[in-house]
Amino acid sequence: MNFLKNAFRFYIHSSIHVAVCISALMGVGTLSYDLPFQKWKFIFVFFATISAYNFSKFAQKAGFQHKNLSSELKAIQVFSLLCFLFLGYAVFQQSLKFIFIASLLALLTLLYNLPFIPSKYRLRELKSFKIFIIALVWTGTTLWLLLIDQVKIFSIEVYLRSISYFAFVLALILPFEIRDLQFDDPKLGTFPQRFGISNTRKLGYIFLGIFLLCSFLNPNMLWKEKLICLIISGLVFLFLKFSKKYNSAYYTAFWGESIPIVWFLLLYLM
């Protein structure tokens, strides 16, 4: 039992779960556009997600030193290094257009939370701005990187889908903001800090409305896809409604982040 508990804890804390969720959202686009499975793109996104999230979460805490670190953090560092090596190999399997877009997203991620530059230059220090950076990176990673070699990305249809992804991720992030009220520095000026939990939930409902509007306005979306978007909106609505300051970490880190997996599975089954 302890082994399963520790394995699950490592699965969450090492960012494997969030990598699966982002890959699932990329899978939604693959099914929606009826694209062939692009193995190396999924491998790239999976390992890039683990590398980026673990860098963001642990690099500053660890200070790139192995002294006085917990065994779990040491294991995550080794695991992250292996993932980064796999990521390096996956880069060479991509097109130049893909690498260019991925490099811009990587730069945005570095500027978001680079621990060895003055804090005033970090994007996360801009009040209430960090969730928009995260949503932009998620959208670029799961949609633009997927389509860059397959579809004309400068089209109304892709614009609408980009906005819908962006709004969906924003709504999905807000419960994390609510949970982190107990940990965040007040200087960050997150939405719950500035507007309160109730108003933050209402903002999330607005983002969900934008997600649904763009989905239903999309001329290339089948009615089955739109029905699934409605179901997914209902799940995110409940996720927002029951989000609290003292929710269990797994309420957000596992159940909330699993919603893209549900979206992919519903689309696959239909």
Torsions phi, psi for 183 (to 5 deg): -115, -30
Q: Which residues, 6 or more positions from 130, have their beta carbon under 8 angstroms from its beta carbon?
A: 112, 123, 124, 188, 190
* Type of residue found at 136: L
Residue 208 pLDDT level (bands cut at 50, 70, 90): very high
Torsions phi, psi for 34 (to 5 deg): 55, 50
Residue 100 pLDDT level (bands cut at 50, 70, 90): very high
pLDDT of residue 182: 76
Residue 116 pLDDT level (bands cut at 50, 70, 90): very low
- Three-class secondary structure of residue 114 per DSSP: coil
CATH 1.10.600 fits 2-269, yes or no: yes
Q: What is the average per-residue pLDDT within 114-132?
A: 62
pLDDT at 68 over 60: no
pLDDT of residue 80: 92
Across the chain, what does the average pLDDT equal? 87
pLDDT of residue 225: 93
pLDDT of residue 246: 79
Q: Which residue has the higher pLDDT, 250 or 205?
A: 205
pLDDT of residue 33: 92
The predicted-structure confidence for 228-249, as pLDDT tens digits, reads as follows 999 999 999 999 999 887 777 7
The predicted-structure confidence for 131-176, as pLDDT tens digits, reads as follows 898 999 999 999 999 999 887 778 899 999 999 999 999 999 999 8
The long-range contacts involving 137-140, CB below 8 angstroms and separated by at least 24 positions, are 137/105, 137/108, 137/109, 137/112, 138/22, 138/25, 138/165, 138/169, 139/165, 139/166, 139/169, 140/101, 140/104, 140/105
pLDDT at 120 over 70: no
d(CA 75, CA 72): 5
pLDDT at 64 over 50: no
Q: What is the average per-residue pLDDT within 103-122?
A: 70
* Type of residue found at 34: D
| Contact (Cβ atoms closer than 8 angstroms) between residue 175 and residue 122 | no
| Single pTM value for the model | 0.89
Counting every residue, how long is the chain?
270
pLDDT at 219 over 50: yes
The predicted-structure confidence for 10-63, as pLDDT tens digits, reads as follows 999 999 999 999 999 999 999 999 999 999 999 999 999 999 998 877 755 544
Q: Which residue has the higher pLDDT, 182 or 144?
A: 144
